[in-house]
Chains A and B, each alone.
Chain A
Amino acid sequence: MNFVKKSPWILHYDGSSCNGCDIEVLACLTPLYDVERFGIINTGNPKHADILLITGSVNEQNIPVVKQLYEQMAMPKVVVAVGICATSGGIFAECYNVVGGVDKVLPVDVYVPGCAARPEAIIDGVVKALGILEEKQKFARKKNS
Protein backbone atom coordinates (compact mmCIF):
# COMPACT_ATOMS: atom_id res chain seq x y z
CA MET A 1 0.00 0.00 0.00
CA ASN A 2 1.09 3.55 -0.67
CA PHE A 3 1.20 5.78 2.38
CA VAL A 4 2.67 8.91 0.86
CA LYS A 5 -0.86 10.08 0.04
CA LYS A 6 -1.85 9.74 3.68
CA SER A 7 0.89 11.89 5.18
CA PRO A 8 2.25 14.55 2.83
CA TRP A 9 4.66 16.89 4.59
CA ILE A 10 5.05 20.32 3.07
CA LEU A 11 8.01 22.66 2.78
CA HIS A 12 6.91 26.23 2.13
CA TYR A 13 9.38 28.61 0.47
CA ASP A 14 8.73 32.29 -0.21
CA GLY A 15 10.46 33.21 -3.50
CA SER A 16 9.89 36.90 -4.09
CA SER A 17 6.27 36.87 -3.07
CA CYS A 18 4.40 39.95 -1.82
CA ASN A 19 3.37 37.78 1.19
CA GLY A 20 -0.23 37.61 -0.01
CA CYS A 21 0.03 33.93 -1.01
CA ASP A 22 2.15 33.13 2.07
CA ILE A 23 -0.65 34.35 4.32
CA GLU A 24 -3.10 32.17 2.38
CA VAL A 25 -0.77 29.14 2.72
CA LEU A 26 -0.61 29.66 6.49
CA ALA A 27 -4.39 30.17 6.55
CA CYS A 28 -4.70 26.53 5.46
CA LEU A 29 -3.27 25.49 8.84
CA THR A 30 -5.83 27.45 10.87
CA PRO A 31 -8.85 25.75 12.50
CA LEU A 32 -11.12 26.89 9.64
CA TYR A 33 -9.32 24.85 6.92
CA ASP A 34 -7.17 22.57 9.16
CA VAL A 35 -5.07 20.70 6.59
CA GLU A 36 -3.73 18.47 9.38
CA ARG A 37 -6.92 16.43 8.91
CA PHE A 38 -5.32 15.12 5.71
CA GLY A 39 -2.10 14.41 7.62
CA ILE A 40 -0.42 17.47 6.12
CA ILE A 41 2.32 18.98 8.26
CA ASN A 42 4.12 22.22 7.42
CA THR A 43 7.73 21.21 8.08
CA GLY A 44 10.58 23.67 7.91
CA ASN A 45 13.06 21.04 6.79
CA PRO A 46 13.59 19.93 3.17
CA LYS A 47 14.86 16.53 4.34
CA HIS A 48 11.50 15.75 5.96
CA ALA A 49 9.29 17.21 3.23
CA ASP A 50 7.44 15.53 0.33
CA ILE A 51 5.94 18.61 -1.33
CA LEU A 52 7.77 21.85 -2.09
CA LEU A 53 5.30 24.74 -2.05
CA ILE A 54 6.75 27.85 -3.67
CA THR A 55 5.05 31.24 -3.63
CA GLY A 56 6.28 34.20 -5.66
CA SER A 57 8.46 34.40 -8.73
CA VAL A 58 12.07 33.28 -8.93
CA ASN A 59 14.69 36.02 -9.10
CA GLU A 60 18.44 36.00 -9.80
CA GLN A 61 19.23 35.99 -6.06
CA ASN A 62 17.24 32.93 -5.04
CA ILE A 63 17.88 30.52 -7.93
CA PRO A 64 20.63 28.64 -6.01
CA VAL A 65 18.45 28.60 -2.86
CA VAL A 66 15.46 27.08 -4.64
CA LYS A 67 17.66 24.53 -6.41
CA GLN A 68 19.38 23.51 -3.16
CA LEU A 69 16.07 23.11 -1.32
CA TYR A 70 14.80 20.84 -4.10
CA GLU A 71 17.99 18.76 -4.13
CA GLN A 72 17.91 18.26 -0.36
CA MET A 73 14.41 16.72 -0.46
CA ALA A 74 14.20 12.93 -0.37
CA MET A 75 12.57 11.04 -3.26
CA PRO A 76 9.69 10.95 -4.17
CA LYS A 77 9.03 14.71 -4.27
CA VAL A 78 6.76 17.16 -6.10
CA VAL A 79 6.78 20.92 -6.62
CA VAL A 80 3.63 23.05 -6.36
CA ALA A 81 3.74 26.63 -7.63
CA VAL A 82 1.24 28.72 -5.63
CA GLY A 83 -0.04 32.03 -6.99
CA ILE A 84 0.23 33.64 -10.41
CA CYS A 85 3.77 34.95 -9.70
CA ALA A 86 5.03 31.43 -9.07
CA THR A 87 3.31 30.07 -12.20
CA SER A 88 4.45 32.75 -14.70
CA GLY A 89 6.02 35.71 -12.92
CA GLY A 90 2.71 37.59 -12.74
CA ILE A 91 2.90 41.37 -12.69
CA PHE A 92 6.60 41.14 -11.79
CA ALA A 93 7.45 39.16 -14.96
CA GLU A 94 8.99 42.22 -16.69
CA CYS A 95 11.19 43.24 -13.73
CA TYR A 96 14.94 43.38 -14.48
CA ASN A 97 15.79 40.86 -11.73
CA VAL A 98 12.88 38.42 -12.15
CA VAL A 99 13.56 35.26 -14.12
CA GLY A 100 9.89 34.25 -14.32
CA GLY A 101 7.84 31.38 -12.87
CA VAL A 102 9.28 28.56 -10.80
CA ASP A 103 9.24 26.28 -13.88
CA LYS A 104 12.24 28.21 -15.25
CA VAL A 105 14.36 26.55 -12.53
CA LEU A 106 12.53 23.45 -11.20
CA PRO A 107 10.21 20.85 -12.76
CA VAL A 108 6.84 22.09 -11.49
CA ASP A 109 4.10 19.45 -11.15
CA VAL A 110 1.04 21.51 -10.17
CA TYR A 111 0.23 25.17 -10.89
CA VAL A 112 -2.18 26.97 -8.57
CA PRO A 113 -2.95 30.37 -10.15
CA GLY A 114 -4.62 33.25 -8.36
CA CYS A 115 -3.66 36.57 -6.82
CA ALA A 116 -3.65 35.66 -4.05
CA ALA A 117 -4.46 31.95 -4.43
CA ARG A 118 -7.35 31.10 -2.11
CA PRO A 119 -6.81 28.48 0.63
CA GLU A 120 -9.36 26.18 -1.06
CA ALA A 121 -7.37 26.40 -4.31
CA ILE A 122 -4.10 25.67 -2.48
CA ILE A 123 -5.59 22.61 -0.76
CA ASP A 124 -6.98 21.47 -4.12
CA GLY A 125 -3.53 21.87 -5.69
CA VAL A 126 -1.85 19.90 -2.91
CA VAL A 127 -4.42 17.10 -3.25
CA LYS A 128 -3.69 17.01 -7.01
CA ALA A 129 0.03 16.86 -6.20
CA LEU A 130 -0.62 13.77 -4.04
CA GLY A 131 -1.76 11.84 -7.12
CA ILE A 132 1.46 12.77 -8.91
CA LEU A 133 3.49 11.87 -5.81
CA GLU A 134 1.92 8.40 -5.82
CA GLU A 135 2.72 7.90 -9.53
CA LYS A 136 6.32 9.01 -8.95
CA GLN A 137 6.71 6.51 -6.12
CA LYS A 138 5.31 3.67 -8.25
CA PHE A 139 7.70 4.63 -11.06
CA ALA A 140 10.67 4.75 -8.65
CA ARG A 141 9.78 1.30 -7.31
CA LYS A 142 9.52 -0.18 -10.80
CA LYS A 143 12.93 1.29 -11.61
CA ASN A 144 14.44 -0.27 -8.48
CA SER A 145 12.93 -3.73 -8.92
Chain B
Amino acid sequence: MIILIIIGIIILAPLVGGLLTGIDRVITARMQGRQGPPILQPFYDVLKLIQKESIEVNSMHRFYIYISLIFAVFTTVILLSGGDILLAVFALTLGSIFFVLGGYASNSPYSTIGSERELLQIMAYEPMVLLTCVGFYYADKSFFVKDIISASIPSIVYLPGVFIGFVFILTFKLRKSPFDLSMSHHGHQEIVKGITTEYSGRDLAVIEITHWYEVVFALTLVFVFFATKSPISRIVAVVACAAVYFLEIIIDNAFARLKWQQALNAAWIVTGVLGTINLLILSYFR
Protein backbone atom coordinates (compact mmCIF):
# COMPACT_ATOMS: atom_id res chain seq x y z
CA MET B 1 0.00 0.00 0.00
CA ILE B 2 2.75 2.45 1.00
CA ILE B 3 4.60 1.63 -2.22
CA LEU B 4 1.45 2.43 -4.24
CA ILE B 5 1.13 5.79 -2.46
CA ILE B 6 4.80 6.60 -3.14
CA ILE B 7 4.45 5.71 -6.84
CA GLY B 8 1.26 7.80 -7.00
CA ILE B 9 3.06 10.81 -5.50
CA ILE B 10 6.05 10.44 -7.85
CA ILE B 11 3.75 10.39 -10.90
CA LEU B 12 1.08 12.90 -9.84
CA ALA B 13 3.31 15.60 -8.30
CA PRO B 14 5.04 16.63 -11.56
CA LEU B 15 1.71 16.47 -13.43
CA VAL B 16 0.20 18.93 -10.93
CA GLY B 17 3.37 21.07 -10.97
CA GLY B 18 3.44 21.19 -14.76
CA LEU B 19 -0.24 22.07 -14.97
CA LEU B 20 0.25 24.88 -12.43
CA THR B 21 3.19 26.20 -14.47
CA GLY B 22 1.01 26.11 -17.60
CA ILE B 23 -1.81 28.00 -15.88
CA ASP B 24 0.82 30.46 -14.63
CA ARG B 25 2.02 31.08 -18.19
CA VAL B 26 -1.51 31.68 -19.47
CA ILE B 27 -2.40 34.06 -16.62
CA THR B 28 0.90 35.91 -17.06
CA ALA B 29 0.20 36.30 -20.80
CA ARG B 30 -3.33 37.60 -20.13
CA MET B 31 -1.92 40.10 -17.61
CA GLN B 32 0.42 41.36 -20.36
CA GLY B 33 -2.46 41.63 -22.86
CA ARG B 34 -1.40 38.53 -24.84
CA GLN B 35 -3.26 35.36 -25.63
CA GLY B 36 -0.57 33.07 -24.25
CA PRO B 37 0.39 29.45 -24.93
CA PRO B 38 -1.89 26.45 -24.36
CA ILE B 39 -2.18 25.27 -20.74
CA LEU B 40 -0.29 22.07 -21.57
CA GLN B 41 2.67 24.03 -23.02
CA PRO B 42 5.15 23.09 -20.21
CA PHE B 43 4.50 19.40 -21.00
CA TYR B 44 5.07 20.02 -24.72
CA ASP B 45 8.34 21.78 -23.89
CA VAL B 46 9.60 18.97 -21.66
CA LEU B 47 8.55 16.20 -24.07
CA LYS B 48 10.26 18.03 -26.92
CA LEU B 49 13.44 18.42 -24.87
CA ILE B 50 13.40 14.69 -24.06
CA GLN B 51 13.22 13.91 -27.80
CA LYS B 52 16.12 16.23 -28.63
CA GLU B 53 19.82 15.49 -28.59
CA SER B 54 21.65 16.08 -25.27
CA ILE B 55 25.00 17.79 -25.68
CA GLU B 56 27.47 16.51 -23.09
CA VAL B 57 29.99 19.07 -21.82
CA ASN B 58 31.51 16.61 -19.35
CA SER B 59 30.21 13.53 -17.58
CA MET B 60 29.79 15.18 -14.16
CA HIS B 61 27.61 18.16 -14.99
CA ARG B 62 24.76 15.89 -16.11
CA PHE B 63 25.16 13.64 -13.08
CA TYR B 64 24.54 16.55 -10.64
CA ILE B 65 21.23 17.40 -12.31
CA TYR B 66 19.91 13.84 -11.95
CA ILE B 67 20.98 13.76 -8.27
CA SER B 68 19.16 17.06 -7.79
CA LEU B 69 15.99 15.54 -9.30
CA ILE B 70 16.25 12.50 -7.02
CA PHE B 71 16.43 14.72 -3.93
CA ALA B 72 13.47 16.80 -5.13
CA VAL B 73 11.43 13.58 -5.60
CA PHE B 74 12.57 12.32 -2.18
CA THR B 75 11.49 15.61 -0.54
CA THR B 76 8.08 15.59 -2.16
CA VAL B 77 7.44 11.96 -1.20
CA ILE B 78 8.40 12.59 2.44
CA LEU B 79 6.24 15.69 2.66
CA LEU B 80 3.15 14.29 0.92
CA SER B 81 3.25 10.98 2.79
CA GLY B 82 3.19 12.86 6.12
CA GLY B 83 6.86 12.47 7.03
CA ASP B 84 9.37 14.62 8.85
CA ILE B 85 9.29 18.22 7.65
CA LEU B 86 12.89 18.89 8.77
CA LEU B 87 14.24 15.96 6.75
CA ALA B 88 12.26 17.18 3.73
CA VAL B 89 13.65 20.71 3.96
CA PHE B 90 17.26 19.56 4.35
CA ALA B 91 16.96 17.04 1.52
CA LEU B 92 15.65 19.79 -0.76
CA THR B 93 18.55 22.06 0.24
CA LEU B 94 20.96 19.27 -0.65
CA GLY B 95 19.21 18.97 -4.04
CA SER B 96 19.65 22.72 -4.61
CA ILE B 97 23.35 22.44 -3.72
CA PHE B 98 23.80 19.67 -6.29
CA PHE B 99 22.07 21.90 -8.86
CA VAL B 100 24.58 24.67 -8.03
CA LEU B 101 27.49 22.20 -8.33
CA GLY B 102 26.16 21.25 -11.77
CA GLY B 103 26.42 24.92 -12.78
CA TYR B 104 30.04 25.11 -11.56
CA ALA B 105 30.95 21.75 -13.16
CA SER B 106 30.56 22.95 -16.76
CA ASN B 107 33.18 25.69 -16.20
CA SER B 108 31.31 28.16 -18.41
CA PRO B 109 31.42 31.77 -17.14
CA TYR B 110 27.65 32.11 -17.57
CA SER B 111 26.97 28.96 -15.57
CA THR B 112 29.39 30.09 -12.86
CA ILE B 113 27.58 33.42 -12.45
CA GLY B 114 24.26 31.56 -12.43
CA SER B 115 25.53 29.22 -9.72
CA GLU B 116 26.71 32.13 -7.58
CA ARG B 117 23.31 33.76 -7.92
CA GLU B 118 21.59 30.50 -6.99
CA LEU B 119 23.81 30.27 -3.88
CA LEU B 120 22.86 33.82 -2.89
CA GLN B 121 19.20 32.89 -3.30
CA ILE B 122 19.64 29.81 -1.11
CA MET B 123 21.33 32.00 1.49
CA ALA B 124 18.40 34.45 1.36
CA TYR B 125 15.49 32.00 1.69
CA GLU B 126 16.92 29.19 3.79
CA PRO B 127 16.67 30.88 7.26
CA MET B 128 12.95 31.48 6.80
CA VAL B 129 12.30 27.90 5.69
CA LEU B 130 14.04 26.62 8.83
CA LEU B 131 12.11 29.08 11.02
CA THR B 132 8.89 27.77 9.43
CA CYS B 133 9.78 24.23 10.51
CA VAL B 134 10.62 25.44 14.03
CA GLY B 135 7.34 27.37 14.08
CA PHE B 136 5.35 24.22 13.22
CA TYR B 137 7.04 22.45 16.13
CA TYR B 138 6.17 25.30 18.53
CA ALA B 139 2.54 25.26 17.35
CA ASP B 140 1.88 21.53 17.19
CA LYS B 141 4.74 19.90 19.15
CA SER B 142 5.75 17.71 16.23
CA PHE B 143 7.91 17.85 13.12
CA PHE B 144 5.78 15.23 11.36
CA VAL B 145 3.38 16.56 8.72
CA LYS B 146 0.75 13.93 9.57
CA ASP B 147 0.64 15.23 13.20
CA ILE B 148 0.61 18.89 12.17
CA ILE B 149 -2.33 18.47 9.78
CA SER B 150 -4.36 16.46 12.30
CA ALA B 151 -4.28 19.15 15.00
CA SER B 152 -7.57 20.69 16.10
CA ILE B 153 -6.50 24.31 15.45
CA PRO B 154 -4.77 25.25 12.16
CA SER B 155 -1.13 26.31 12.53
CA ILE B 156 -1.83 29.67 10.84
CA VAL B 157 -3.57 30.80 14.06
CA TYR B 158 -0.28 30.51 15.93
CA LEU B 159 2.00 31.45 13.05
CA PRO B 160 0.56 34.42 11.08
CA GLY B 161 3.96 36.17 10.96
CA VAL B 162 5.80 33.03 9.92
CA PHE B 163 3.19 32.45 7.20
CA ILE B 164 3.64 35.95 5.72
CA GLY B 165 7.41 35.50 5.88
CA PHE B 166 7.14 32.11 4.20
CA VAL B 167 4.97 33.49 1.37
CA PHE B 168 7.58 36.25 0.98
CA ILE B 169 10.47 33.82 0.46
CA LEU B 170 8.27 31.57 -1.69
CA THR B 171 8.97 34.15 -4.42
CA PHE B 172 12.58 32.86 -4.43
CA LYS B 173 11.54 29.24 -4.47
CA LEU B 174 8.97 29.64 -7.27
CA ARG B 175 11.53 31.73 -9.22
CA LYS B 176 9.36 34.82 -9.51
CA SER B 177 10.28 38.51 -9.83
CA PRO B 178 11.51 40.50 -7.89
CA PHE B 179 13.61 37.63 -6.51
CA ASP B 180 14.40 35.60 -9.64
CA LEU B 181 18.13 36.22 -9.70
CA SER B 182 18.92 32.78 -11.10
CA MET B 183 16.62 31.03 -13.58
CA SER B 184 13.65 33.27 -14.15
CA HIS B 185 10.60 32.19 -16.16
CA HIS B 186 11.20 35.25 -18.31
CA GLY B 187 14.26 36.96 -19.77
CA HIS B 188 15.43 34.07 -21.92
CA GLN B 189 18.34 36.04 -23.39
CA GLU B 190 19.59 37.37 -20.07
CA ILE B 191 22.20 36.26 -17.56
CA VAL B 192 19.37 35.08 -15.26
CA LYS B 193 19.22 31.92 -17.37
CA GLY B 194 22.95 31.50 -16.64
CA ILE B 195 22.86 28.26 -14.68
CA THR B 196 21.10 26.41 -17.51
CA THR B 197 23.46 27.68 -20.24
CA GLU B 198 25.29 24.41 -20.81
CA TYR B 199 22.28 22.11 -20.51
CA SER B 200 20.32 20.94 -23.52
CA GLY B 201 17.84 18.23 -24.45
CA ARG B 202 17.03 15.72 -21.73
CA ASP B 203 19.11 17.49 -19.07
CA LEU B 204 17.15 20.72 -19.49
CA ALA B 205 13.93 18.70 -19.24
CA VAL B 206 15.16 17.24 -15.94
CA ILE B 207 15.79 20.76 -14.60
CA GLU B 208 12.22 21.71 -15.54
CA ILE B 209 10.74 18.60 -13.91
CA THR B 210 12.77 19.28 -10.74
CA HIS B 211 11.19 22.73 -10.67
CA TRP B 212 7.70 21.18 -10.91
CA TYR B 213 8.46 19.06 -7.86
CA GLU B 214 9.66 22.19 -6.06
CA VAL B 215 6.41 24.00 -6.88
CA VAL B 216 4.46 21.10 -5.36
CA PHE B 217 6.75 21.13 -2.31
CA ALA B 218 6.25 24.88 -1.78
CA LEU B 219 2.45 24.69 -2.07
CA THR B 220 2.33 21.64 0.22
CA LEU B 221 3.94 23.73 2.97
CA VAL B 222 1.25 26.39 2.42
CA PHE B 223 -1.35 23.59 2.72
CA VAL B 224 0.15 22.45 6.04
CA PHE B 225 -0.39 25.94 7.50
CA PHE B 226 -4.17 25.69 7.01
CA ALA B 227 -5.03 21.99 7.32
CA THR B 228 -6.61 20.50 10.44
CA LYS B 229 -8.39 17.21 11.02
CA SER B 230 -11.76 18.52 9.73
CA PRO B 231 -12.34 17.98 5.98
CA ILE B 232 -13.59 21.57 5.45
CA SER B 233 -10.22 22.96 6.52
CA ARG B 234 -8.55 20.77 3.88
CA ILE B 235 -10.68 22.47 1.21
CA VAL B 236 -9.84 25.88 2.72
CA ALA B 237 -6.16 24.89 2.59
CA VAL B 238 -6.35 24.02 -1.12
CA VAL B 239 -8.08 27.34 -1.82
CA ALA B 240 -5.32 29.07 0.17
CA CYS B 241 -2.67 27.33 -1.97
CA ALA B 242 -4.40 28.57 -5.14
CA ALA B 243 -4.68 32.10 -3.69
CA VAL B 244 -0.97 32.16 -2.72
CA TYR B 245 0.04 30.92 -6.18
CA PHE B 246 -2.12 33.59 -7.85
CA LEU B 247 -0.62 36.25 -5.56
CA GLU B 248 2.87 35.14 -6.59
CA ILE B 249 1.90 35.49 -10.28
CA ILE B 250 0.64 39.04 -9.66
CA ILE B 251 3.86 39.92 -7.79
CA ASP B 252 5.89 38.37 -10.62
CA ASN B 253 4.24 40.65 -13.16
CA ALA B 254 4.12 43.78 -11.03
CA PHE B 255 7.76 44.05 -9.90
CA ALA B 256 11.14 44.40 -11.58
CA ARG B 257 14.06 42.18 -10.63
CA LEU B 258 16.12 43.37 -7.64
CA LYS B 259 19.89 43.32 -7.15
CA TRP B 260 21.14 40.47 -5.01
CA GLN B 261 22.07 42.80 -2.11
CA GLN B 262 18.52 44.16 -1.96
CA ALA B 263 17.00 40.70 -2.29
CA LEU B 264 19.18 39.33 0.51
CA ASN B 265 18.44 42.31 2.78
CA ALA B 266 14.69 42.14 2.13
CA ALA B 267 14.52 38.40 2.80
CA TRP B 268 16.57 38.54 5.99
CA ILE B 269 14.74 41.60 7.36
CA VAL B 270 11.37 39.91 6.81
CA THR B 271 12.70 36.67 8.33
CA GLY B 272 14.18 38.54 11.30
CA VAL B 273 11.16 40.70 12.02
CA LEU B 274 8.11 38.55 11.17
CA GLY B 275 9.57 35.09 11.77
CA THR B 276 11.56 35.73 14.93
CA ILE B 277 8.99 37.96 16.65
CA ASN B 278 6.23 35.46 15.88
CA LEU B 279 8.29 32.66 17.42
CA LEU B 280 9.26 34.79 20.45
CA ILE B 281 5.62 35.60 21.22
CA LEU B 282 4.64 31.96 20.68
CA SER B 283 7.36 30.65 23.02
CA TYR B 284 6.25 33.19 25.66
CA PHE B 285 2.60 32.11 25.64
CA ARG B 286 2.96 28.35 25.24
CB distance from A142 to the nearest CB of B (A): 14
Q: With A31-B32, A43-B188 given, is the CB distance from A48 to B204 under 8 Å?
A: yes
Among B48, B55, B201, max chain A CB count under 10 A is at B48
Q: With A7-B45, A42-B188 given, is the CB distance from A31 to B52 under 8 Å?
A: no
CB distance from A5 to the nearest CB of B (A): 9
A6 at the binding interface (Cβ < 8 Å): yes
Of all chain B residues, which has the CB nearest A38?
Answer: B37
Contact segment of B152-160, B189-197, B218-226, B235-243: B189-197
Contact A4–B51 (Cβ < 8 Å): yes
* Alpha-carbon distance between A7 and B41 when the two chains are bound, in angstroms: 7
Q: Digit string of A6-37 for contact with B (CB within 8 Å is 1, else 0)?
A: 11000000000000000000000001001011
The 8 closest A-B pairs by CB, nearest first: A44-B189, A6-B44, A3-B48, A47-B200, A3-B47, A34-B34, A74-B53, A75-B53
Interface residues of A in 64-115 (CB under 8 A from B): 72, 74-76
Contact of B36 among A4, A7, A37, A41 (CB under 8 A): A37
B231 at the binding interface (Cβ < 8 Å): no
Residues of B within 8 A of A38 (CB): 37
B126 at the binding interface (Cβ < 8 Å): no
Residues of A within 8 A of B47 (CB): 1, 3
Contact A4–B29 (Cβ < 8 Å): no
Contact A2–B198 (Cβ < 8 Å): no
Contact A37–B35 (Cβ < 8 Å): yes
Q: Please name 19 further chain A to chain B contacts, defined as beta carbons within 8 Å, in addition to the given A39-B37, A47-B197, A72-B55, sorted by A numbering.
A: A2-B51, A4-B52, A6-B44, A6-B48, A7-B44, A7-B45, A7-B48, A31-B34, A36-B37, A38-B37, A39-B45, A43-B189, A43-B193, A44-B193, A45-B196, A74-B54, A74-B55, A75-B53, A76-B53
Residues of A within 8 A of B48 (CB): 3-4, 6-7, 50
Q: With A34-B35, A36-B29 given, is the CB distance from A75 to B52 under 8 Å?
A: yes
* Alpha-carbon distance between A44 and B201 when the two chains are bound, in angstroms: 16
Of all chain A residues, which has the CB nearest B193?
Answer: A45
Residues of A within 8 A of B53 (CB): 74-76
Residues of A within 8 A of B (CB): 1-4, 6-7, 31, 34, 36-39, 41-45, 47-48, 50, 72, 74-76, 137
Residues of B within 8 A of A (CB): 25, 29, 32-38, 41, 44-45, 47-48, 51-55, 188-190, 193, 196-201, 204
CB distance from B25 to the nearest CB of A (A): 8
CB distance from B191 to the nearest CB of A (A): 9
* Alpha-carbon distance between A1 and B50 when the two chains are bound, in angstroms: 12
Interface of B is mostly: loop
* Alpha-carbon distance between A74 and B198 when the two chains are bound, in angstroms: 11
Residues of B within 8 A of A74 (CB): 52-55, 200-201
* Alpha-carbon distance between A4 and B201 when the two chains are bound, in angstroms: 11
* Alpha-carbon distance between A76 and B48 when the two chains are bound, in angstroms: 11
Residues of A within 8 A of B36 (CB): 34, 36-37
Contact A39–B44 (Cβ < 8 Å): yes
Of all chain A residues, which has the CB nearest B29?
Answer: A36
Q: With A3-B47, A34-B29 given, is the CB distance from A48 to B34 under 8 Å?
A: no
Q: With A4-B48, A48-B196 given, is the CB distance from A39 to B188 under 8 Å?
A: no
Contact A42–B44 (Cβ < 8 Å): no
* Alpha-carbon distance between A76 and B52 when the two chains are bound, in angstroms: 7
Residues of B within 8 A of A1 (CB): 47
Residues of B within 8 A of A7 (CB): 41, 44-45, 48
CB distance from A22 to the nearest CB of B (A): 13
Of all chain B residues, which has the CB nearest A76?
Answer: B52
Q: With A7-B41, A31-B34 given, is the CB distance from A47 to B55 under 8 Å?
A: yes
Contact B190–A44 (Cβ < 8 Å): yes
CB distance from B198 to the nearest CB of A (A): 7
Of all chain B residues, which has the CB nearest A46?
Answer: B200
